[in-house]
Amino acid sequence: MAKRPDGKNTSGRGQRDLTVKVKTARGRKSSSTRWLQRQLNDPYVKRAQAEGYRGRAAFKIMELDDKYRFLVPGARVVDLGCAPGGWCQVAVPRVNALGEKQGKAQGRILGVDLQEVEPIAGCEIHQLDFMEDDADEKVKAWLGGKADVVMSDMAAASSGHKQTDHLRIIALCEAAAYLAFDVLEEGGTFVSKVLAGGAEGELQKLLKQRFAKVANVKPPASRPDSSEKFVVATGFRG
């Protein structure tokens, strides 16, 4: 029987695939009803539940890694904004963080989030606001050396104001990029969530100077109606 990332065994039984309709309950806003309906009918949400991932975000990093192959055995990974832990769950077997793949190098995963994260075997996770003044120093001390991958899915809670949200996400992405410049090994990879449109030009310019290749990708698991996309910068020049 196959093992799931949450440690449970798969039942092998097929999933029922019925569309769930949500009635607008008293006291629930219609936007919440729409969110709930979309969540209940989202195939990636169902797949995450069936396969034992903590969230649908797991499939985004899976799809990005299937294309760019940065989560390799032995890789030292920093996962910024890692709660509830889907990206970490995907990274554990790929980098061989538990040393289960004999004859392959054992990797390491260091996760950081504002929120507390339930432990994940093979990951070292710290609760930290990465926008704090000395956050970089703390992460570097925990890391104790170089990293091969810095990945960030950090996103601040939505303010409801599109431009504000955009600027916040770019600030998070920039902070992640500066950590990457400091800790990445030559040839390393930086992956970060960004939002399409506007203010990210400077960041793209900076990344192009420091990495051999910079791609902007919308993985299939990223909701088509969201302006989210991911920047994947490979071949860090050091």
Ligand X SMILES: C[S@@+](CC[C@H](N)C(=O)[O-])C[C@H]1O[C@@H](n2cnc3c(N)ncnc32)[C@H](O)[C@@H]1O
* From 83, 91, 177, 231, residue interacting with ligand X (rule: CB under 6 A): 83
Asked if 194 touches ligand X (CB under 6 A), the answer is no
In whole angstroms, the minimum distance from the beta carbon of 215 to ligand X comes to 19
**Is 153 labelled as part of a ligand binding site?**
yes
Cis bond before residue 73 (omega within 30° of 0): no
In whole angstroms, the minimum distance from the beta carbon of 153 to ligand X comes to 3
In whole angstroms, the minimum distance from the beta carbon of 27 to ligand X comes to 26
* Number of residues binding to ligand X, judged by CB under 6 A: 23
Taking CA atoms, 50 is separated from 63, 130, 133, 148, 205, in Å, by 18, 32, 40, 31, 40
Annotation marks residue 193 as catalytic: yes
Choice among 101, 193, 208, 218 that is catalytic: 193
Half-sphere exposure of 176 (CA within 13 A, CB side): 33
**Is 148 labelled as part of a ligand binding site?**
no
Q: Reading across the β-sheet that carries 228-236, which strands appear in turn?
A: 123-127, 108-113, 76-80, 147-152, 184-195, 228-236, 211-217
In whole angstroms, the minimum distance from the beta carbon of 90 to ligand X comes to 8
Asked if 86 touches ligand X (CB under 6 A), the answer is yes
Q: What is the DSSP string of 197-232?
A: SSTTHHHHHHHHHHEEEEEEE--TTS-TTS-EEEEE
Q: Which of 41, 87, 28 is nearest to 63 (CA)?
A: 87
In terms of CB distance, is 76 or 193 closer to ligand X? 193
In terms of CB distance, is 82 or 233 closer to ligand X? 82
Binding site for ligand X (CB under 6 A): 54-55, 57-58, 81-87, 112-115, 129-131, 153-156, 172
Q: What is the set of active-site residues?
A: 193
